[in-house]
Chains A and B, each alone.
Chain A
Amino acid sequence: MAALLEVRDLRAGFDTDAGYVEVLDGVSFELSSGETLGLVGESGCGKSVSALSIMNLLPQPAGKITAGSIGFQNRDLVALPREELHDVRGNRISMIFQEPMTALNPVHRIGNQIIEAVKLHQPDLTTTIARQRALAMLERVGIPAPDQRLNEYPHQLSGGMRQRVMIAMALTMQPDLLIADEPTTALDVTIQAQILDLLREMQRESGMAILFITHDLGVIAELCDRVTVMYAGCVVEQANVTELFSTPRHPYTQGLLRSIPRLDATPKQPLTTIPGAVPALIDMPEGCRFRNRCLNAEDDCELRSPDLVHTAEHEFACHHPVTEETI
């Protein structure tokens, strides 16, 4: 089956006072209908910039896409004219963010914000019908007393409820793709469990694809079908979720998995760490960007940056991948 979303060799970056800084260094991934792809990596690895590029929401005028394509339903979103993009955004692709308080307008009632979104995409609907839609959506995302909530302001809701409102708003147009950028990071774990459950249920009902961006490998394991691991603006590894967690091939993925404190591990033992820190964007090392922190690094890692190697179940970009024996 053809992919719903196909990001190819995407390069993007920002103009800064210090000159142009490239954030994405040729990122590729794809996503099919009904599938959940996890985009995981640490701060500054470019996962959010990838998402914003798909929506053409990079901060203007500093942000720009310099190369690559974003195929979505037989259209290239990078080259799409504004009017057509407007049809895709919100209608076909929706997005939810980490902090629903900043994504919702604090001076408008919840109901009016959802109604506005509905009418923006279907201008011929009457307010009454749009309101009914909003009500039905709030009910579907599990908000108690939805007719009362419609008249409330964002600050009157808890963080979990606000995220439910965002999800309701994102799903009113029944998008084919939902981009979720760290949607549960600001929430407590018991609320996070509720939201993940809700997303799963919504996906089962509608068959939409989800691009789930997070730094939390636990959430990835919980929700995603496939995983793309990013490091310093590059995709370093890609596989289905079971495969990635059981046999990571890139030393970075392996390091990440080992650094997490686990509930079932012996307490007070030193944790495995990845030495050093992510290099600065303006000062990227030549060759493999992970080599300064990598235990497998050799001379050739400095000479040439590794390409993505495809095996049957796996893609990884490494000259000296983790082998079966060292997992």
Chain B
Amino acid sequence: MKESLLQVRGLKKYFPVRGGVFLRRIGNVQAVEDVSFSIERGKTLGLVGESGCGKSTVGQTIMKLHAPTAGEIFYEGRDIAAMNRAELKAFRRDVQIIFQDPFESLNARHTVSRILEEPFVIHEMGTAAERRRWAGDLLTRVGLQVDALDRFPHEFSGGQRQRIGIARAIALKPKLVVCDEAVSALDVSIQSQVINLLMDLQREMNLALIFIAHDLAVVKHVSDDIAVMYLGKIVEQANAQEIYKFPRHPYTEALLSAIPIPDPSRRGERIILSGDVPSPIHPPSGCRFHTRCPHAADQCRSSEPAEEFVKEGHRVACHFWKKLADTKAFG
């Protein structure tokens, strides 16, 4: 079997909740609970779910910005927790991240050229003149003018700033870029420009992308595979077309149907879930979705569903997926 670029196995990340006079650990936020997936070179994995489902934590843990509580992350076959200095430096070069808010992720006191040259400085690449030329090339690549080099982030619009963030992320020719809500803050007309840019770069550089977003329509557009998360767990994982056409988990189905479609003739085809997402400090017993699931039964409250294969490449964690699929096919 071909080796995956990145493989995540049984990833768990808990954050401590502290309280009392001595700030003892009194509980855990179970942000990520037993998550497994892999991503191939040049492909896009979409990670979707509502706020608090743990999708950003997964992205940050992959970047080694958090140490996992349990589980393993393999990059090109090497466990990232066991990497030595040299390997880690290469890893940091190969894996980059783009954040949601380009206002906060660019240093307001640095010029664009300093922002874009910094990766080269850190990795001791090139002379000052070369670095400046490379920075200019990067700007052109993301659709900005070279004269932007001597300006400051505040002189740019949101969309342009996000382009600068992208230029910085691709500076070291990475193999994997984590896009954490990278287009969520942008207006639609700008959002489509940035999505197109990301897809172009991916094709050109054979980039793998982990695309984290809450907007399912955007995720579906850019992704090869999609993993749907709910309260720290992946509830369903499949090819993007497949998951959209044949969602097997009741949560995926509800999430898809909740998206307002820009077509007034398709009003009211909604499944409306009741209630809110429960707290990840005290997740529900059994299946974590049972408190909001229209199909929940006793079994869902007592036992946690294991991931099952619907078919090759399509996994779902629901006790009743088969029954529900049958009802749909014959009902």
**Which of B51, B157, B188, B265 has the largest count of A CB atoms less than 10 A from its CB?**
B188
Residues of A within 8 A of B187 (CB): 42-43, 215, 278
A75 to chain B, nearest CB (A): 33
* Shortest beta-carbon distance from B205 to chain A in Å: 15
Interface residues of A in 37-66 (CB under 8 A from B): 42-43
Q: Do A189 and B220 touch (CB < 8 A)?
A: no
**A260 an interface residue at 8 Å Cβ cutoff?**
yes
Q: Give residues of chain A (269-299) contacting chain B, Cβ–Cβ below 8 Å.
A: 270-275, 277-278
A77 on interface, CB distance cutoff 8 Å: no
Q: For chain B, what secondary structure do more than half of its interface residues adopt (helix, strand, loop), or is it mixed?
A: helix
**Which of A1-9, A83-91, A192-200 is near enough to bind chain B?**
A192-200
**A271–B50 contact, CB under 8 A?**
no
Tell me if B265 and A242 are in contact (CB < 8 A): yes
Residues of B within 8 A of A (CB-CB), count: 48
Contact of B267 with A222 in the complex, beta carbons under 8 Å: yes
Asked whether B188 lies within 8 Å of A189 as measured between CB atoms, the reply is: no
- Give every chain B residue within 8 A of A263 (Cβ-Cβ): 216-217, 220, 244, 256, 259, 261
> Is there an interface contact between A218 and B264, defined as CB atoms closer than 8 Å?
no
Closest to A184 in B: B260
B286 to chain A, nearest CB (A): 20
For A194, list chain B residues within 8 Å (CB): 272-274
Chain A nearest Cβ from B67, distance in angstroms: 28
A117 at the interface (CB under 8 A from B): no
B240 interface residue (CB < 8 Å to A): yes
Interface 9-mer from A119-127, A173-181, A251-259? A251-259
CA distance A215 to B189 in the complex (A): 11
Interface residues on A, range: 35 or more
The answer to whether A273 touches B192, judged by C-beta atoms less than 8 angstroms apart, is yes
Chain A residue contacts of B220, Cβ below 8 A? 261, 263, 267
Q: Are A193 and B188 in contact (CB under 8 A)?
A: no
A310 proximal to B (CB < 8 A)? no
Q: B259: nearest residue on chain A (CB-CB)?
A: A189
In the complex, chain A residues 177-219 whose Cβ is within 8 Å of any chain B Cβ: 188-194, 196-197, 215-219
| Candidates B158, B188, B224; contact of A217 at CB < 8 Å | B188
B11-30 vs A, Cβ < 8 Å mask (1 yes, 0 no): 00000000000000000000
Shortest CB-to-CB span from A216 to chain B, Å, is 7
**CA–CA, A127 and B78, complex, Å:** 67
Enumerate B233-281 residues with CB–CB distance to A below 8 Å.
Answer: 240-241, 244, 254-256, 258-267, 270, 272-274, 276-277
- A132 interface residue (CB < 8 Å to B): no
Is B199 a contact of A270 with CB atoms below 8 Å? yes
Q: Which residues of A pack against B, CB within 8 Å?
A: 42-43, 158-161, 188-194, 196-197, 215-222, 241-242, 245, 255-257, 259-263, 265, 267-268, 270-275, 277-278
What 7 A-B pairs come out closest when comparing CB atoms? Answer: A218-B260, A261-B221, A188-B50, A42-B187, A259-B192, A274-B189, A271-B192
**Cross-chain pairs A/B with CB under 8 angstroms, 14 sampled:** A188-B277, A192-B260, A193-B258, A193-B273, A196-B260, A219-B260, A221-B264, A245-B262, A259-B191, A261-B220, A262-B217, A270-B196, A277-B159, A278-B157
